[in-house]
Amino acid sequence: MAQPSSPNGKKVSARVAIVAVGVVSPLGFGLAETLESLRKARDCVSSVRRFSVAQCRCKTAGQVPDDRLLASQGEAPHSRRLHRASHMMIQALKEVVTQQPQFKPELAVIGTTSGGMSYGESYYRSLRQAGHLRHAPTWIANYPAQKPVIDAQAVFGISAPCQVIANACASGTNAIGHAFECVRSGRYQRVLAGGYDALSEMVFVGFDSLQASTPEKCRPFDRHRTGMVLGEGAALLALENLDLAQQRGASILAEIVGYGISTDNFHITQPEPSGIGPRQAMERSLQDASVSAGEVDYINAHGTATVFNDAAEGKAVSGLFNSVPVSSTKSMMGHSLGAAGAIEAIVCLLAIQHQFLPPNINFSAPDDDLDLNIVVNEARPAVLRTALSNSFGFGGTNASILMRKSRA
């Protein structure tokens, strides 16, 4: 589709609406449960039971319960063979389709980091231990990163081409940002965007080996923070040309108005200490939307609770904004990697819809080096029009999206 033009021939940008969303995470299944968990400041991190963590420092994670996740397994063909990530995507897409059955995406842009990594683990172990390879076809079939997307689309009769973005912990936000630009440019009218990741033993042990994970509570921006906890989940957002969505009478939940990215290339795991990378991503999202820093009402921070990440992001936020409320909801549900940006975008959407600030739990003492307005331990009411969602990943990859209550 050609990019729209004004009568004088100049290119114009389409407004991009969010018309439906779906989410499954440790906070709950669907919008209602997620909203309740946020409002009640629930700590949804629990002991890991899916695999042994006896030799790990960290023994907790934000987890999606298998009993509920697999309860709907009859909906998908060969459902017992599907990876947990596929079941998460099916749940998330089911909610989107229920809200907007007329939404037919022309493209799907999905962020993830590990894909079906746990099946890769099983295959590798069988080879190393000369084990039985009877399940090898299932392991291999479920390993590609696009497989959960294909599985979910198949259940609901959707066959949109899929683009997978694997850009570390910024993957989900990058996917939404790329989808936003696809619709705004006029090349597409409707794009499905989001992210997923399922808890994987290999990834869990890897973070633990880096000593990035904490044996204690996850305490973003707290003086006593000692590291992150992992999580999992899936989230999808249906993005549509606003004018076309209005013409067909679709509900407009909010608008995506800006997207900013940067790469600082400082270190493979540590952020650049000054916070220049995160600051550039946030500045570019503001410039993209023609929005001033003073117009932002809430920031959902990347906030992993690692010493270096929180310090860099904190410097960037305090240097660019003046006392804007900030929280990291990873304190409640862990860091779901490729899904994090998509889940946290939906957190921002709920905050705008229901006019409240999501909490940053487990917070006891501000960091002496950070000047931040943290939403401490409890949700609180607020007048919100514009929210910023941050995702910053290994390798210095940074992404921010700006969301606004629709003017329509």
**H or E element at residue 1:** none
The CATH topology of domain 16-404 is: Peroxisomal Thiolase; Chain A, domain 1 (3.40.47)
Whether the model clears a pTM of 0.75, i.e. scores above it, the answer is yes
Question: How do beta strands 60-62 and 162-165 pair?
Answer: unpaired
Question: How high is the pLDDT of residue 267?
Answer: 82
Contact 97, 90 (CB under 8 A): no
Q: Which of 83, 87, 178, 302 is catalytic?
A: 302
Tokens of 191: 């794009």
Q: Which of 44, 169, 182, 218 is catalytic?
A: 169
Q: Which of 83, 87, 178, 335 is catalytic?
A: 335
Q: For residue 229, give the nearest of 169, 305, 166, 167 by alpha carbon.
A: 305
**218 classed as catalytic:** no
Q: Measured at the alpha carbon of residue 353, what is the angle toward residues 352 and 357, in degrees to the nearest 5? A: 45
**162 classed as catalytic:** no
Question: How high is the pLDDT of residue 70?
Answer: 84
Secondary structure class of 138 (helix, strand, coil): helix
Question: How high is the pLDDT of residue 71?
Answer: 81
> What are 391's strand-pairing partners?
399
Helices (H), 40-146: 66-69, 84-99, 117-128, 136-141
Q: Could you state, in order of their start, the residue ranges of all structural domains in the chain?
A: 16-404
Distance (Å, rounded) from C-alpha 208 to C-alpha 308? 16
Q: With the CA atoms of 251, 253, 254 and 256 taken in that order, what torsion angle do they form, in degrees rounded to the nearest 10? A: -90
Question: How high is the pLDDT of residue 1?
Answer: 39
Task: Per-residue pLDDT tens, the chain, 408 aa: give them.
Answer: 344 444 444 456 899 999 999 999 999 999 999 999 999 999 999 999 989 999 999 999 999 999 999 886 555 556 667 889 999 999 999 999 999 999 999 999 999 997 556 556 666 666 666 666 666 676 677 778 899 999 999 999 999 999 999 989 999 999 999 999 999 999 999 999 999 999 989 899 999 999 999 999 999 999 999 999 999 999 999 999 999 999 999 999 999 999 999 998 888 778 889 999 999 999 999 999 999 999 999 999 999 999 999 999 999 999 999 999 999 999 999 999 999 999 999 999 999 999 999 999 999 999 988 899 999 999 999 999 999 999 999 888 999 999 999 886
pLDDT tens across 357-392, in order? Answer: 999 999 999 998 889 999 999 999 999 999 999 999
Count of residues making up the chain: 408
Distance (Å, rounded) from C-alpha 9 to C-alpha 2? 13
Q: Which residue has the tokens 């880096």?
A: 210
| Phi, psi for 25 (deg, rounded to 5) | -160, 180
**354 classed as catalytic:** no
Distance (Å, rounded) from C-alpha 234 to C-alpha 90? 9
Question: How high is the pLDDT of residue 2?
Answer: 42
**H or E element at residue 392:** strand 386-393
